[in-house]
Amino acid sequence: MAQELPRLENAEAHARLVHRIYTDRRACAESRELLLAVAYASALAPAVPANRVLSHAARLLGRTSTGRSRLAELVAADAPRYERPREAGDWGPGQAPGCQAPRLRPYVYRPRRPAPATEAAVPLRQPPASPGARIPPGYVPPIDYRNSQGVCGADSHHKVLEHDPRTGWVTAHWFCRRHADHAERVAAQVREQNAVAPEPIPNRGGLLPSYFKTDWEEVYRHYAPASWSPPSYGLAADAWPTPGSSLPKRSRLRLITD
């Protein structure tokens, strides 16, 4: 896509930008590589036309093993969006997090009873003798998490989503079949606040608009999935509200779309 950006005044200005990118805790290795490539292509790369910034950055980043442009993948990954936590997703039977209902009695491990065998099993080879585990004096076995956290911990079948009234972020509560009444009670408790919860604040992407100015919505629509839509909080991660903290507003390099 056609982009235009004036050069940085000197190498010192570029060094400050690189330092800011490397110290940005929001950037992972891939997004940091994308930011550095765009910064170099738009500021210091020799003989780069002003309207070929992203094209030059694409050549710097190369292609994946399948031949796909890495720039396309990295820009799509930087699209501003909210991603739910993994435990709030759809899980199959026996894969969901354990039941969060309160435990009424301590958990005690009970090994399964062996299935009755009609004939005695004959081992093909005698197993080697095991010296056995040596337990040091005073050893105390760790407390099972179900007892330390006071939760049921059984396989869950009911999921209740709670939306934070300040951020719109989702918290999942899981319950087993025996504690379906707890799931109904929690669902009733969060129903009103879920109805008035705001649009979730984005928690992924938005770094490119935090460093460079251009029509990033057009860029994201070109590379991101068709289902992507710009969040109401803005495209730049610097502008997203964070409860309990505030991010300083920083200057950005100006990109102009032809």
Q: What is the phi-psi region of residue 22: left when phi exceeds 0, alpha when psi lies from -120 to 50, beta otherwise?
A: alpha
Residue bearing the bigger pLDDT, 232 or 127 = 232
- Between 187 and 16, whose confidence is greater? 187
Do the bridges between strand 3-4 and strand 253-254 make them parallel or antiparallel, or are there none, so unpaired? unpaired
Q: What percent of the chain has pLDDT over 90?
A: 55
Cα–Cα separations (whole angstroms), residue 215 to 3, 71, 122, 230: 9, 17, 73, 12
Q: Over the stretch 77-113, which tens digit does the pLDDT of each residue have?
A: 999 999 999 999 888 878 899 999 998 888 777 766 7
Residue 65: Cβ within 10 Å count: 5
pLDDT digits (tens, 9 = 90+) for 183-204: 999 999 999 999 999 999 999 9
Residue 152 pLDDT > 80? yes
Question: From residue 133, how far is each of 128, 136, 141 by CA, in Å?
Answer: 15, 10, 14
Q: For residue range 199-241, list pLDDT tens digits in order.
A: 999 999 999 999 988 899 999 999 999 999 999 999 999 999 8
Q: Which residues contact 215 (CB under 8 A, 6 or more apart)?
A: 257
SS3 171: strand
According to DSSP, the β-strands at 253-254 and 256-257 are unpaired
